[in-house]
Amino acid sequence: LLAIPLAILGTPHHSRADTLCVHPTGAFGCRTTIQAAVDAAGDGDTVQVAEGTYTASGSQVVGISQDIELQGGWSSDFSTRSRPDYPTIIDGEQQRIGIFVTGGNPTISGFVIINGRNTRPRSFQVSSCRWCFVIGFSSSEPFINKTGL
């Protein structure tokens, strides 16, 4: 009589922050693209990205709409984090946005973002990216608070 069926209570809510990983070869059970890990992440989760160069075929390399922490600069075995020693490069190949933030309040750090093409205004604030370098950015607007890196 005291037992309430789980169907009435619903399923437990995701309350514990998870850490997901990205590795170019999928080693350690990681995803091979940053976008795949971001898509699997929920608010409060951390996505650790191993050294390497990451690109995509769509309009952006990474699209983010959650309150997540996206960390570049990890060694290939995820034992050490150092952007100078383990560069994590997001390359827009002069064809797409590097990082496109559509919502949430993500924390982004430890990336070298190169060859981005800004086609969508107000999609990313440079001030939101700590410990990042942006190289080869294409836009006709001022760089401060630049969107669509």
Lowest mean pLDDT among 50-59, 71-80, 128-137: 128-137
The whole-number average pLDDT for the span 119-144 is: 49
Give residue 30's pLDDT: 98
Give residue 131's pLDDT: 54
Give residue 144's pLDDT: 33
pLDDT band at 8, cuts 50/70/90? very low
pLDDT band at 85, cuts 50/70/90? very high
Say whether pLDDT at 147 is over 50. Answer: no
Does residue 17 contact residue 46 with C-beta atoms inside 8 Å?
A: yes
Mean pLDDT across the chain, nearest whole number? 78
Give residue 98's pLDDT: 86
User: Which residue did the predictor score with more confidence, 145 or 118?
Assistant: 118
